[in-house]
A = this chain, B = another copy of it.
């Protein structure tokens, strides 16, 4: 179980569908020999969009799962887990 409510899920689903379309668009740009810098600009856009999705889920997770675990005296384990995933997120 995660901490995403229905409106969150709808919003994320819409964002990910758009990202999926953009990834397909990048394949097409490569296929059609489009200019490298234009492909890179599109890659930057997708990376930014994915980061936003990640930050949104991180936010929901911290407000939800993490907060609940802390109130149940299980904070340290879930915070360690959060820090691990966050460290990778900053790479």
A contact set with B: CB distance below 8 Å: 1-4, 9, 12-13, 16-17, 19-20, 23-24, 26-27, 30-31, 33-37, 39-41, 43-44, 46-48, 50-51, 53-55, 57-67, 70-71, 75-76, 79, 81-83, 85-91
Cα A30 to Cα B19 in complex, Å, equals 15
**Contact between chains at A36 and B86 (CB < 8 Å):** no
Which residues on the B side are within 8 Å of A58 (C-beta)? 36, 40, 83, 86
Which residues on the B side are within 8 Å of A48 (C-beta)? 91
Cα A91 to Cα B27 in complex, Å, equals 23
**Contact between chains at A35 and B70 (CB < 8 Å):** no
**Contact between chains at A82 and B70 (CB < 8 Å):** no
**Contact between chains at A88 and B44 (CB < 8 Å):** yes
**Can you identify 20 A-B contacts, CB atoms within 8 angstroms?**
A4-B36, A12-B30, A16-B23, A16-B27, A20-B24, A36-B58, A36-B64, A41-B88, A43-B50, A47-B50, A47-B51, A55-B83, A58-B83, A63-B76, A66-B79, A67-B79, A70-B75, A71-B71, A90-B90, A91-B91
